Structure 1
Amino acid sequence: MRWKGRRESGNVEDRRGYRMAGGSRPGLRIPLSRGRSARGGGLGLGGILIVLALAWFTGIDPLTLLGLNGGSSYDSGPAISSGTTAPANDETSRFVSVVLADTEDTWNTLLAEQGMNYPEPRLVLFSDAVRSACGQASAAVGPFYCGQDQKIYIDLTFYRQLAGQLKAPGDFAQAYVLAHEVGHHLQNVLGILPEYHQARQGMSERDANALSVRVELQADCFAGIWAHHAARQQDFIEDGDIEEALNAASRIGDDTLQKQARGYAVPETFNHGSSAQRVRWFREGFSSGDIRACDTFKASTL
């Protein structure tokens, strides 16, 4: 990506170098069941550390393990500076600010064409743990979106894990991650997430997982739409960039991650979609550039 020198978003909140007063424990709770449904909680790309491994073995959504799905607040006191705040203009933060700005341009334009406003989300950069309106979370959950405060949260060290542990290197792979979370914000703006959270109430775990897959695949499709419009700009997208995004989509499929964690996959526990599904729906958005092509809820096959 030729991103340097392009507009940066004014919607970035840098909380790096801050920790929660009262200790480093992130308010982790491990429920015995998934009896409660999500109510506007965070929707993450998926963690890759111990929490996800535990989630895969138990079949529990990793966001539930981290207290995000219930919208609960784990208030351990005010955030205080650790004295290690990264400079606000370091290269990675400037990169995500440019990507966020371009998603703003894309969705402002596309929604305006439909007579709608696009309330821009804020991007929160944090280190290790963060408190959102959806609760407190560790960086292990990976990037996530909180519908209650309309903010995207990311510990930028995730990108090292994406390139190393997940074998999905490249700046456009990183951009895809952010565009996916922006896709969740768009779902919130369009009223899809509130309907999803309402529909989950009373569902069995298996049915709730199946519905979650459709939500996540739609966010992938929306990320593809952003890539479609980014590719039409002069001197922005380079050869190989789209392949980086497709590789990332493949590497974070539930089946691929589960096989890495325990050697086999359990489809009924998928909540983000298989590698093939994630690639398919990103391609769908990228090929069409049309929101109407992303209705994963009406699709007979995913």
Structure 2
Amino acid sequence: MRWRGRRESSNVEDRRGQGGGIPGGFGRGGRGIPIPIGRAGGGGISGILLLVVLFFVLRACGIDPMQILEGGPVNPQVSEQSAPGAQPTDEEGQFVSVVLAETEDVWNGIFQAEGQTYREPTMVLFTDQVQSACGFASSASGPFYCPGDSRVYIDLGFFRELSQRFGASGDFAQAYVIAHEVGHHVQNLIGVLPEFNRQRQSMSPTQANEMSMRVELQADCFAGIWAHYTDQKGLLEEGDIEEALNAAHQIGDDTLQRRTQGYVVPESFNHGTSEQRMTWFSNGFRNGRLEDCDTFNNDI
């Protein structure tokens, strides 16, 4: 990816080396990349699908969707208590800042085309453990998005693990991970995550896992949309898309389970198989259209 010399996002908090309090698994409200810990989720197919579609058509009926979504799960008290971090000055930090800036450009453009305002997320870089509005998290949980404070959390050591442990090297493999988490932020803005978290409480574990897969695969598809427009800007290099697809393959539920326990348990999948993750990323990348990311009304 041609990233050097490009704009860095100002929405980055570098908390590396500060410590984060009590170590532990990441909070219930987060959505993340598994390594290889799974999380349950749920939601009604029809309710989530309607939110995705109606967000971009309600304006025609004289309704402002953003006002409807203002009551989303936000915890300002926790956010205000979070210690601010300086802008990163090392190469790794600068790279993720540029990738975040590129996601801002793409999603600002998509939302503006629909007459809406994109509320940009903040990325928090941490070491070992961190406190968020979703609770305490350790780096062992992998990168995650917390809808409670609209922040993406990542220990950059995950990228070394992604390369060395999972065989997914390359800067665009890393960019895919960030774009996936930003995809969860988009889901939060358009109402998918709030509805998902509300309805999953009444679902069985099997139903919840299935709906969690649909949420995760849509985030993969949104990452593909970002890659589509990034490619149009001439920023992708030969092999970049292959790097992203390989990363999606390596963190598929079936591949992770085979690697860690030697067999797969399909009913426990909650992020999607390797094939599914690659397919939905490709769906988004092909045309860059939101309608191609309807994981709730199509077979996955």
TM (norm. structure 2) is 0.83
Matching of residues 256-295 of structure 1 within 5 Å = 256-295=255-294
Task: Decide whether the 8 Å contact of 1:20 with 1:79 is kept in 2.
Answer: no
- The alignment partner of 2:260 has SS state of helix
- The alignment partner of 1:140 has SS state of helix
Matching of residues 39-188 of structure 1 within 5 Å = 41-48=29-36, 52=37, 61=40, 88-188=88-188
Task: Decide whether the 8 Å contact of 1:19 with 1:79 is kept in 2.
Answer: no
Amino acid of the residue matched to residue 23 of structure 2? P
**In 2, Cα distance between the equivalents of 1:28 and 1:172?**
27
- The alignment partner of 2:110 has SS state of helix
Deviations 1:114-165 (A, max 9, x none): 1111000000000000000000000000000000000000000000000010
Task: Decide whether the 8 Å contact of 2:26 with 2:138 is kept in 1.
Answer: no
Q: Please state if 1:26 is matched with 2:26.
A: no
Q: Please give the root-mean-square deviation of Cα atoms over the aligned residues, in Å.
A: 2.5
Indicate how the Cα distance of structure 1 residues 86 and 168 shifts in structure 2: closer, same or farther if over 3 A, else same: farther
The offset of 1:16, in angstroms, is 0.4
Indicate how the Cα distance of structure 1 residues 277 and 86 shifts in structure 2: closer, same or farther if over 3 A, else same: same
Task: Decide whether the 8 Å contact of 1:139 with 1:155 is kept in 2.
Answer: yes
Indicate how the Cα distance of structure 1 residues 117 and 4 shifts in structure 2: closer, same or farther if over 3 A, else same: same
Task: Decide whether the 8 Å contact of 1:17 with 1:86 is kept in 2.
Answer: no
User: Which residue is equivalent to 1:220?
Assistant: 220
Identity %: 56
Ranked by relative contact order (alpha carbons within 8 Å, sequence separation 6 or more), the top structure is 2
The offset of 1:88, in angstroms, is 2.4
Task: Decide whether the 8 Å contact of 2:40 with 2:205 is kept in 1.
Answer: no
- The alignment partner of 1:145 has SS state of strand
Indicate how the Cα distance of structure 1 residues 79 and 112 shifts in structure 2: closer, same or farther if over 3 A, else same: closer
Amino acid of the residue matched to residue 294 of structure 2? D
The offset of 1:61, in angstroms, is 4.6
**Structure 1 residue ranges, 4+ long, deviating more than 4 angstroms after superposition:** 27-30
The offset of 1:198, in angstroms, is 1.4
The offset of 1:202, in angstroms, is 1.2
The offset of 1:20, in angstroms, is 3.9
Stretches of structure 2 that go unaligned for 5 or more consecutive residues are 42-73
The offset of 1:47, in angstroms, is 2.3
User: Which residue is equivalent to 2:65?
Assistant: none
